[in-house]
Amino acid sequence: MPSSQNLPPLHFVLIGHVDHGKSSLIGRLLHDADALPHGKKDAMEEMCKRRGVTFQWAFLMDALQAERDQGVTIDSAWIRFNSHGREYILIDAPGHERFVRNMITGAERADAALLVIDAQEGLQEQSFRHGFLLHLMGVRQLGVVINKMDLVGYDAARFNALEKEIREYFERLDIDPVAIIPVSAVEGDNIVRHSANMPWYKGASVLEALQNFQARGESVDLPLRFPVQDVYRNDTQRILVGRIESGQMQVGEELLFSPSNQTATLASIENHPGENPAQAQAGRCVGITLKEKIFIERGELVSHSKNPPVESDVFRARIFWLAQTPLRTGDVCELRLANTRIPADIENIEWVVDPASLQRNQADNIQANEIGEIIIRARTILAFDPFDENTNTGRFILARDKQIQGGGTISMQGYTDRRLTRRATNITRVPHHVTIDERARRIGHKNGVLWFTGLSGAGKSTLALTLERRLYEQGFQVFVLDGDNLRYGLNADLGFSPEDRAENIRRAFEVAGLFSRAGMLVITAFISPYASDRTRAREVIGDSFREIHIHADIEVCKERDPKGLYEKARSGEIREFTGISAPYETPKNPDLTIDTAANNIEECVEKLLAYIEAEFRL
């Protein structure tokens, strides 16, 4: 076997359905790779004689007495061994479904994985679940070990059939197993040395496959991500401590802190006493000090300004649920993201995924050991990365009552970064000499923004224009800002991606705010599908903002389809269409709801007029 010298250590996780021979494989691998302490096997055989049990290779690594008695691996065991000059860290993860939580913990830091399949039993439900979890945890280097080939007579046809099934499954997960190896752990076939019992197999042995795996390293080439774990204070300085998850930092650089969006210059990197390196990179636990005196708390995510993380309070997630109590829409969990702990609402359960067929099925809850796709809304803005861009800062845990209940990965599909970067400099606000109250007394009513939000076809524009005429006739200074009208001019450069939608609404509420501060009553008619954008509009406009939900369910809107947009969306002509291929986040606590399915136009307008008289007329 070629030398593995100069290769970095490899962390690999070994997983498999209970009784598929995983522990036996480990024992045999350690023995045949000459990685066991001298005399360990002899001592174990002697112990088995004293206890009156038959020696099993699994006993070489099942260190817990409870595991030997029950025949089940309970905890994740880390085993270091060397072979041909390379160091391996073997993470033995439990296979029983009751201990999936430990399996996830074991797989979290793995560079690669070996999945063990019984040649007789083949792929089981738990095998599919393990495969999907590897996909979920971002493990892309995979070897599959078909064990117990001796029990099927070393049959090449049986192996070929299993290999075909395995490759077809993992192809749907975008994972290409680098090796599928027929072995007998009991007999030592293809563990370290090639087997004379299977001359038809020409591929790598288990140890050769491990040698070909690449260590993932510490993500040095990714953008800097340094979650602040704690802040140490002494008489003269504050030291921010944590682990650099990706990238690198250098003294003298400007650092960005998210989500507070403060910046400061890196003054020093504190390592061991007396060690102050000029730079540090991913994988290092360090303390840092800043030149500027800014207030930083645990949970801030440090980056460079040119490659910042995403900021948002809402994201899409694929999760694995562990708790016996199902997860339901509306539940509140503690979201643990890097070093942040924050309450979060389960806003919607979109799908439950069958790990075997990978089909997505609609459900109103996620049961223990099920995989789901959900929408999570945190109670505050968070900083993170989509999982496919940075696995280190794109994973999270959900907890309840201080107990871990599930975990998952982050996607921003259908959502947008809420970070607002101000590029203009050397600007100063100019105060007006006419106050808002003076304008109100002159006009006879208070200023305000009536923010109509709802699905396409709900009746926003129809109501807005009818209401505008009625208010004008009653002496109100009123103007309608319609979404389509703005896209003809001010927003003509924007499309319908999540980012462009957010910018469309940002420009709209800034314009609405200006009209309102001029004393007018502004009626806006925008789908504005994201709750975060409507929240930002309220923050910018202030107390004069009113969120009006123009409600009609999706089926009613499809039947109306006044602009023919739903038909175009169904045919694929329009992509990213709200309610069909893009989300609409229904207001939870609007200032007023107008149901256009239950009321005609005149009834809706009368309700709006009554509300406006009560809220805005002096």
Give the pLDDT confidence of 299-336 residue by residue, as tens digits.
Answer: 999 999 999 999 999 999 999 888 889 999 999 999 99
**207 & 230 share domain:** no
> Higher pLDDT residue, 57 or 203?
203
The whole-number pLDDT of residue 65 equals: 36
Residue 98 lies in a domain: yes
CA proximity to 150, closest of 175, 118, 124 = 118
Last residue within a domain, chosen from 212, 245, 277: 212
Yes or no: say if 18 and 126 are a contact pair by the CB < 8 Å rule: yes
Most confident of 91-100, 366-375, 415-424, 457-466: 457-466
Identify which has the larger pLDDT, 458 or 357: 458
Cα 50–chain centre separation = 51
Mean pLDDT throughout 243-267?
93
Residue-wise pLDDT for 347-386, tens only, equals 999 989 877 677 888 888 999 878 899 999 998 899 999 9
The residue-averaged pLDDT of 486-496 equals 89
Q: Residue 101: is its pLDDT beyond 70?
A: no
Taking only Cα atoms into account, the Rg of the chain, rounded to an integer number of angstroms, comes to 30
Helices (H), 518-600: 531-541, 554-560, 565-570
**One domain for residues 38 and 153:** yes
The DSSP bridge pattern shows strands 545-551 and 448-453 to be parallel
Are 321 and 299 in the same domain? no
- If asked whether residues 202 and 264 sit together in one domain, one would say no
Domain count of the chain? 4
User: Is residue 511 one of the residues assigned to a domain?
Assistant: yes
For residue 587 the two structure tokens come to 């207001």
pLDDT score, position 514: 94
60-69, 176-185, 191-200: least confident range: 60-69
Q: Of the candidates 190, 212, 234, which is a domain's last residue? A: 212
List 184, 528, 532, 544, catalytic entry: 528
Look at residue 437 in the predicted model and tell me its pLDDT: 92
| Whole-angstrom distance, CA of residue 521 vs CA of residue 446 | 8
- Between CA 601 and CA 595 the distance in angstroms is 10
Whether residue 74 has pLDDT greater than 50: no
Structure tokens at 54: 């038959």
Q: Tell me, what amino acid is at 412?
A: M
Do 128 and 177 lie in one domain? The reply is yes
Residue 58: what pLDDT? Answer: 57
User: Does the residue 251 lie in any domain?
Assistant: yes
Pair (189, 279) in one structural domain? no
**Nearest C-alpha neighbor of 129 from the set 94, 158, 160, 180:** 94
Q: How far apart are CA 549 and CA 465, in angstroms?
A: 16
Whether residue 206 is contained in a domain is answered as: yes
For residue 291, the model assigns a pLDDT of 92
- Name every residue whose Cβ is closer than 8 Å to that of residue 457 and which is 6 or more positions away in sequence: 552, 556, 557, 558, 560, 561, 562, 563, 565, 566
User: Is 456 in the active site?
Assistant: no
Report d(CA 93, CA 90) in Å as an integer. Answer: 9
Point out the domain boundary residue: 369, 389, 420.
Answer: 420
What's the Cα-to-Cα distance from 141 to each of 111, 117, 355, 492, rounded to whole Å?
Answer: 7, 17, 19, 46
Q: Which domain CATH number covers 244?
A: 2.40.30.10
Domain that holds residue 235: 226-303
Please tell me whether residues 274 and 338 are part of one structural domain.
Answer: no
Q: Are residues 152 and 96 in the same domain?
A: yes
For the segment 213-227, the average pLDDT, to the nearest whole number, is 83
CA distance 126 to 17: 6
Q: Can you give the length of the chain in residues? A: 618
Provide CB contacts within 8 A for 355, sequence distance 6+: 125, 128, 129, 131, 132, 371
Q: Is residue 220 part of a domain?
A: no
Pairing of strands 327-328, 365-366: antiparallel
Q: Do residue 518 and residue 409 come from a single domain?
A: no
Q: Which residues pair with 617 in a beta bridge?
A: 445
Dihedral in degrees, nearest 10, Cα atoms 537, 539, 545, 551: 50
* pLDDT confidence bin for 45, thresholds 50/70/90: low
* Confidence (pLDDT) at 90: 83
Residue 3 lies in a domain: no
Whole-model pTM?
0.68
Residues 6+ apart with CB under 8 A from 43: none
Indicate if the pLDDT at residue 57 is higher than 90: no
Q: What local confidence, expressed as pLDDT, does residue 81 receive?
A: 80
Mark whether 45 and 87 lie in a shared domain. yes
Identify which has the larger pLDDT, 603 or 169: 603
Task: Look at residue 533 and tell me if it is in a domain.
Answer: yes
Banded pLDDT at 109 (limits 50, 70, 90): low
Quote the tokens at residue 120: 């007789």
**Does the pLDDT of residue 76 top 50, yes or no?**
no
- Percent share of the chain, pLDDT over 90: 47
- 4 within domain boundaries: no
Considering the domain architecture, whether residues 292 and 323 belong to the same structural domain is answered as no
Average pLDDT value over all residues in the chain: 85
Phi/psi for 466 (5° steps) reads -65, -45
